[in-house]
């Protein structure tokens, strides 16, 4: 895929369709955006299995690179509420804010090397959806995230959960 777009990434680049004997010139406002979890370096962690390193020639053709961090709590709350629309009461919003707070703890813990897994916004959405189904934040958390975690890291995850919800995951 990357080789195919190489020409259009060049200044005044064009796309050639050999099978149709056509050269396509991009519109003056044409822009191409791409995302990556590995910044083109491939994956040595095993978290993004199947990714590959992008060669330097390809990387040099991308003129602007930017890092996007996670959304702030209020923005992430809006995204989650858009996916679980009927959870707009103040009680539900407080629960979702605590879910996001816990997700941020996992993100920081991952960045610091304390844990090997983190909660993406997609995971928080799944947790909120499971909360709607099971009506229990702890059970929904276990089914959505905790069961994916390494047993050695579960005490850290439990600590994060306690900080946000004042509940011990291990208590019945």
pLDDT tens sequence across 5-62: 777 777 777 888 889 999 888 888 988 888 777 666 666 666 666 666 777 777 787 7
CA 172/CA 160 separation, integer angstroms = 18
Positive or negative torsion for Cα 37, 39, 43, 45: negative
Q: At what angle do helices 154-165 and 137-144 cross, to 10 degrees?
A: 150
Q: pTM here?
A: 0.78
Helix (H, G, I), strand (E, B) or coil at 162: helix
**16: DSSP letter:** E
């Amino acid at each position: 895929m990357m080789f195919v777009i190489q020409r259009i990434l060049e200044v005044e680049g064009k796309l050639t369709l050999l099978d149709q004997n056509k050269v396509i010139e991009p519109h003056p406002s044409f822009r191409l955006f791409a995302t990556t979890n590995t910044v083109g370096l491939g994956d040595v962690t095993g978290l993004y299995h199947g990714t590959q390193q992008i060669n330097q020639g390809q990387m040099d053709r991308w003129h602007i690179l930017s890092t996007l961090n996670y959304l702030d709590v209020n923005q992430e709350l809006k995204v989650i509420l858009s996916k679980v629309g009927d959870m707009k009461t103040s009680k539900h919003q407080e629960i979702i804010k605590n879910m996001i707070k816990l997700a941020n703890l996992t993100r920081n813990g991952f960045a610091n090397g304390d844990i090997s897994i983190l909660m993406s916004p997609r995971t928080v959405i799944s947790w909120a959806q499971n909360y709607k189904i099971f009506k229990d934040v702890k059970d929904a958390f276990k089914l959505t995230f905790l069961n994916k975690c390494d047993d050695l890291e579960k005490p850290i995850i439990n600590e994060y959960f306690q900080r946000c919800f004042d509940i011990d995951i291990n208590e019945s």
